[in-house]
Structure 1
Amino acid sequence: MIFPFSSFMFMLTLLLGSFLTVSSSSWFGMWIGLEINLLSFIPLILIKMNPLYSETALKYFLIQALGSTFIIMSSCLYLSLSFSISPLIITALLLKLGAAPFHFWFPHIMEGLSWPQAYILLSIQKLAPMYMLSHLHSHYFMIMASAILSALVGALGGLNVLSLRKIMAFSSINHMSWMLIAIFISDFMWLVYFIFYILISLSIVVFFNSFQSYYFSDLLNLSYSNPYFTLLLPLNLLSLGGLPPFTGFIPKWFMIQSMLMNEMIFPLVFLIFSALITLYYYLRILLPFILFLNPVLITNFKPFSLLSPAIISSFLLNIIGILLPIPFLF
């Protein structure tokens, strides 16, 4: 399901809300941007009137409204309890991001969305809260504790899940841990990681949306006679998991080097351990594609007959990491 033309205005205000937060010089302006962003996303969830979308929109509105309430509460406490302002704002932003330990709503909301809506939740909706959180990086303990918990929750939460949307949700929670720690290093570092993450997530969402795959069983019903399926999905998922030498390893490589230079050994152990677990449940998805592959003669191929330009672009995106060392060989 692609958004109809009537939703163009809501998409525009959704982006404008994020840009307003990023470009604002005051916390009040940032909060206004968050509210515009929220009120623009609700109609995009309700483009089809059915009970599932209505329930999802209501849940999302209540969670985001709770986070906004914490931000308003912090402004009310400015004169009497000024020391509590930053912890309240951090709690509100972590809640809006779906980072642990405030992650419980995120997989359930993802389960009730279509793939285009889910991608907006995974990408655009995280930009404004992450930017606001980058101004509060001095509170080391809260953000670092949330990053370690997000790494563990994102890794362990996806082990026994058969819904592809929930797997993407727990994967997002796991990647959130890397971005939270990147905030301590530099704004440039978390922005680079965020850009890589949304591009690789886009390649996977395009694949799942093209074949309308929402559960593990939907992947099993795909045609295994086409070898491109068995190539593209493993490439995308392994890149998202950060397995070298795919593209997804590049931002993690930068992060590992930066964390070692800043002597962040303790959180790095948790992040690498969680990345290995996420690769495990990605590989569980890929095994049927490998086991049920039927060898087909090259003469029987119809090259790219069932693949859209978007899927081909996602393939090229994820092999950048493989091609990157080639210029250094000459």
Structure 2
Amino acid sequence: MNFPYFLMFYLLLIFSLMVQVSMSSWMFVWIGLEMNMLCIIPLLVSGFKNMNDSAVKYFIVQVFGSVILLIGFFLSTMSLLGYYYYDVIGFVFWMSLMLKIGAAPFHFWYLSVLENLSWMNIFLMMTIQKFGLLFIMGYLLSLEVYLMFSIILSVFVGGVGGLNQVMMRSLFIYSSIGHVGWMIVAILLSDDVWIVYYSFYFVMMMMFSILFYKKGVVYINQMYNYFSKLEKWMILLGMLSLGGFPPFSGFFPKIVILNILMKSGEWLLVLMMLMGMLVGLYYYVRLVYISMMVWTLSSVWVLNAKTNVVLSVWFNIIMMIMLFIIPIGMIWF
């Protein structure tokens, strides 16, 4: 794709996000979601040759979700139905948003669409595409029961699904499903909490996506040979942070959420989220352990002459800054 068209679609994508977060009418929110979909699809097909299938699947799922959202909108405008079928209308809104964002139990399309995308498009789908949908969920706080169901399922699917994965994309896709669950519960607690969590996740995914895109990483075992020593340590520490391993920066947003939930007496939800987080953390720790064993037994480091060490150092500095910013934010909250 030529740069002018690429820039145009990105600007329209940002504009669609502004429409989603600034409008109070469900009709305008729906228009913003459709603009978002129509801007993302050209960006998805601008990379690998096999991205067309992913773009078609994404289009079908998003159209189906939009139809469900419109049904909920029209039902809510009918005062008689809105009074007697409030729970049904809420269920329709919940189902449409969960389907569009790829959260459990409507995550069936998420892996098949994202696993064929480039790393930069995966970053787009995991971060920018989700922002507007997460913001809209702030209007659905009355649907707490449905959202809690998605939160628990997403955290468990994100943890269990990542086990025994050999492709790096699949690992991060399941991790994204788990993080969506954490961000939804953060929305239920406070706008500030979920913005902090989203910002942390955005920075982490940007770091991994750029590095993996530059190296063309597909499988997990490729990281043993494709990266310099500095990059390998940065990736492993970043994975521990992404999994919420203390004392890394990813631990602090999660401990803030758990702390607020415990103060609210939501002990069952805290237990469920901790179990899902520990399962997800298991495959990150296992990956780090295996990597350290391989590097220890290896007598020769495979260095790439074209390694962008400056980029790695800058991202390392960013994450060190985040390590101190997040605790300050936690104290402020």
TM-score norm. by structure 1 comes to: 0.89
- The one-letter code of the counterpart of 2:104 is A
- The one-letter code of the counterpart of 1:109 is V
Confirm or deny: 8 A CA contact 1:147 1:177 kept in the other structure.
Answer: yes
Corresponding position: 1:36 with 2:35? yes
Change (3 A) 1:310 1:3: farther
Q: Map Cα deviations across residues 210-251 of structure 1 (whole Å, 9 max, x no partner).
A: 21112113223325xx42133111111011111111111121
Aligned to 2:253: 251
Aligned to 2:81: 81
- Distance of 1:55 and 1:183 partners within structure 2: 33
Confirm or deny: 8 A CA contact 1:101 1:146 kept in the other structure.
Answer: yes
Q: Map Cα deviations across residues 178-216 of structure 1 (whole Å, 9 max, x no partner).
A: 111112212222122111111111112122112111211
Corresponding position: 1:147 with 2:174? no
Aligned to 1:286: 288
- Shift in Å, 1:306: 2.6
- Shift in Å, 1:311: 2.5
Change (3 A) 1:294 1:5: farther
Change (3 A) 1:265 1:287: same
Corresponding position: 1:320 with 2:321? yes
Moved more, 2-11 or 79-88: 2-11
- Distance of 2:269 and 2:20 partners within structure 1: 29
Change (3 A) 1:187 1:293: same
Moved more, 243-252 or 307-316: 307-316
- Distance of 1:310 and 1:88 partners within structure 2: 45
Listed as ranges, the matches of 1:234-249 within 5 Å are 234-249=236-251
- The one-letter code of the counterpart of 2:39 is S
- The one-letter code of the counterpart of 2:95 is T
- Shift in Å, 1:101: 0.3
Listed as ranges, the matches of 1:1-330 within 5 Å are 4-48=3-47, 50=49, 52-78=50-76, 79=78, 81-82=81-82, 83=86, 84-222=88-226, 226-293=228-295, 306-320=307-321, 322-323=323-324
- Shift in Å, 1:318: 2.4
- Shift in Å, 1:85: 2.1
- Distance of 2:17 and 2:73 partners within structure 1: 21
Change (3 A) 1:306 1:99: same
Confirm or deny: 8 A CA contact 2:223 2:232 kept in the other structure.
Answer: no
- Distance of 1:308 and 1:115 partners within structure 2: 19
Change (3 A) 1:3 1:115: farther
CA RMSD of aligned residues (A): 2.5
Moved more, 208-217 or 308-317: 308-317
- Distance of 1:102 and 1:317 partners within structure 2: 34
Change (3 A) 1:27 1:323: closer
- Distance of 1:310 and 1:81 partners within structure 2: 57
Q: Give secondary structure in 2 for the equivalent of 1:293.
A: helix
Confirm or deny: 8 A CA contact 2:230 2:312 kept in the other structure.
Answer: no
Moved more, 87-96 or 206-215: 206-215
Gaps of 5+ in 1: none
Q: Map Cα deviations across residues 86-142 of structure 1 (whole Å, 9 max, x no partner).
A: 221111001111110001111111101000000000001101111111101111110
Change (3 A) 1:146 1:229: same
Return the structure number with greater helix share.
2
Confirm or deny: 8 A CA contact 1:245 1:321 kept in the other structure.
Answer: no
Confirm or deny: 8 A CA contact 2:47 2:118 kept in the other structure.
Answer: no
- Shift in Å, 1:49: 7.1
- Shift in Å, 1:263: 1.3
Moved more, 74-83 or 304-313: 304-313
- Distance of 1:275 and 1:242 partners within structure 2: 8
- The one-letter code of the counterpart of 1:248 is G
Q: Give secondary structure in 2 for the equivalent of 1:292.
A: helix
Confirm or deny: 8 A CA contact 2:239 2:284 kept in the other structure.
Answer: yes
Moved more, 231-240 or 113-122: 231-240
- Distance of 1:188 and 1:26 partners within structure 2: 23
- The one-letter code of the counterpart of 1:123 is T
Where does structure 1 differ by over 6 angstroms across 4 or more consecutive aligned residues?
none
Report the number of matched residues. Answer: 318
Percent of matched pairs sharing the same residue? 32
Confirm or deny: 8 A CA contact 2:158 2:174 kept in the other structure.
Answer: yes
- Shift in Å, 1:276: 1.3
Gaps of 5+ in 2: 329-333
